[in-house]
Amino acid sequence: MMHLKPMAQWVLFATATIAVALLGSCGGRDGSDTVLQIVTVTSPATPGSMAPHLAVTPSGEAVMSWLEPLSGEGHALRYATLQHNNWSAPLSIAKDKRWFVNWADVPSVVPITAQHWAAHWLVKRPGGTYSYDIALSVSADGGASWPASLTPHTDNTPTEHGFVTIFTWSDGIGGVWLDGRNMVPDTGGQSSPDDSKKYGGMTLRFARLGYDGEVLDDGEIDNFVCDCCQTDVAVTAAGPVVVYRDRTTGETRDISVTRYVDGGWAKPITVSDDRWQISGCPVNGPAIAADGERVVVAWYAAPNRDSRIKLAWSQDAAQTFSAPVVVDEAGVKGHVDVALLPNSSAMVSWTGKTEAGIGQVRMRQVTMGGDRGPVQVIAEGQYSRNSGFPQMVRAGDRLVFAWPGSGESKQVLTAFSPLGGG
């Protein structure tokens, strides 16, 4: 298993406000000749901030959460809402010095309804470096106040619990995460585990909660998955769909999806038979978006060291998928996100590196027919594998971006692109 290292520097700076031809080469028949702007926005996050996460309110406003270091020791989880062209004054949800903080496994704030918002962060527990639990809090007043946190898992093992995705689930709150309860406990060398016990691998688990935080249902989705790749969820007309990096005993780590149907999770299916065999976790999870029964999944794969960003469509709520489209393959590093656009195409974002060694946050439009627009650069600078994960969401009539900056300030940076009439 590949463990995560502390946050490394990534010197990325927002481009000035510029016009870019984003929506491709389809001759305008689907609006693909539209020119958008990238508009930089003063970030609400202070120097030293990290781990951005974007979500959208039911009314269509973008919400960004992030971590800020405390003046003494520890971190605070904060959030702000993008109102018109500016971020609101940031609010704090919780703070502590016992949190598990790194560049890949980030907290989140997710509006479920106008009144009920959910937030999560990770708390260290006695044991080793990678022994930590999920803390989850539910606000009943639109994020103004947050009660004491609860833990959606009850295994009480000194193992990893993270890479959480929170989502709206009918009249409640859904959560999926990677759960290490079947793995060797991380005791920090204080005692040796019982070698007579047969330990398993990382699992994918879920919980469904009421607005009061009560766990109504929980269980295992998959009993053997990649150890530290991000999960993602989209809610279709037929119910939630979870996407994640799966794992076989032969160390093939391709992308799988599972649907919640008839009161349970369907047998996972492979989105694309990449046959990527890798002995350690690449820390590079997939992304998903949905509208009705239309679903799009984007991901990174590098079989035989052939790195690519790929995308596949489903028209039946993730029961089947189209042949994948290669979004980009020139110096790509992964860290993908995806959003559906008003014209039924998708925008994919990812990180890459030029031949000169300059790191970039890139994006590209892909239509349902497989047509691709030009690759555009959102930000660039010095690239590091441990740079963190840029975020992109569609919030109403614009795309909103957030990424972990670095340099001397290491400040989370933000921008947006108006989408026009769509």
pLDDT tens column, 49-102 = 999 999 999 999 999 999 999 998 999 999 999 998 999 999 999 999 999 999
The fraction of the chain above a pLDDT of 90, given in percent, is 78
Q: What is the separation of C-alpha 244 from the centre of its chain, rounded to a whole number of angstroms?
A: 10
The reported pLDDT for the residue numbered 74 is 95
Name the more confident of 72 and 228. 228
- Asked whether the predicted pLDDT for residue 31 surpasses 60, the reply is no
The reported pLDDT for the residue numbered 29 is 41
The reported pLDDT for the residue numbered 421 is 53
Mean pLDDT of 274-298: 97
Q: What is the mean pLDDT of the chain?
A: 89
Distance CA 45, CA 258 (A): 35
Tokens of 268: 């996972």
The reported pLDDT for the residue numbered 199 is 86
Q: Are 242 and 118 contacting, i.e. CB atoms less than 8 angstroms apart?
A: no
What is the tens place of the pLDDT at every residue in 177-224?
999 999 999 877 666 556 556 789 999 999 999 999 999 999 999 999
- Asked whether the predicted pLDDT for residue 21 surpasses 80, the reply is no
Query: What long-range pairs does 350-354 form, CB within 8 A, spacing at least 24?
Result: 350/298, 350/300, 350/309, 351/383, 351/387, 351/390, 352/328, 353/383, 354/380
- Maximum Cα–Cα distance for the chain, whole Å? 66
Q: Which residues touch 306 (CB under 8 Å, ≥6 apart)?
A: 329
What is the tens place of the pLDDT at every residue in 325-383?
999 999 999 999 999 998 889 999 999 999 988 889 999 999 999 999 999 999 987 75
Tell which residue, 51, 49, 18, has the closest CA to residue 35: 18
- Asked whether the predicted pLDDT for residue 26 surpasses 90, the reply is no
The reported pLDDT for the residue numbered 34 is 53
**Least confident stretch, 4-13, 161-170, 250-259, 411-420:** 4-13
The CATH number for 11-418, chosen from 3.30.360.10, 1.10.3210.10, 2.120.10.30, 2.120.10.10, is 2.120.10.10
- Asked whether the predicted pLDDT for residue 33 surpasses 80, the reply is no
State whether residue 305 is helix, strand or coil.
Answer: helix
The reported pLDDT for the residue numbered 190 is 65
If you write DSSP's letter for every residue of 210-245 in order, what string do you get?
A: -TTS-EEEEEEEESSB-SSPPPEEEEETTEEEEEEE
Q: Which residues touch 87 (CB under 8 Å, ≥6 apart)?
A: 41, 42, 43, 44, 64, 80, 81, 414
Distance CA 4, CA 254 (A): 20
The fraction of the chain above a pLDDT of 70, given in percent, is 87
Q: Are 108 and 131 contacting, i.e. CB atoms less than 8 angstroms apart?
A: no
Mean pLDDT of 22-35: 42
What is the CB-side half-sphere exposure of residue 1 using CA atoms within 13 A? 18
**Least confident stretch, 109-118, 270-279, 385-394:** 385-394
The reported pLDDT for the residue numbered 406 is 67
- Asked whether the predicted pLDDT for residue 420 surpasses 90, the reply is no
Q: What is the separation of C-alpha 204 from the centre of its chain, rounded to a whole number of angstroms?
A: 15
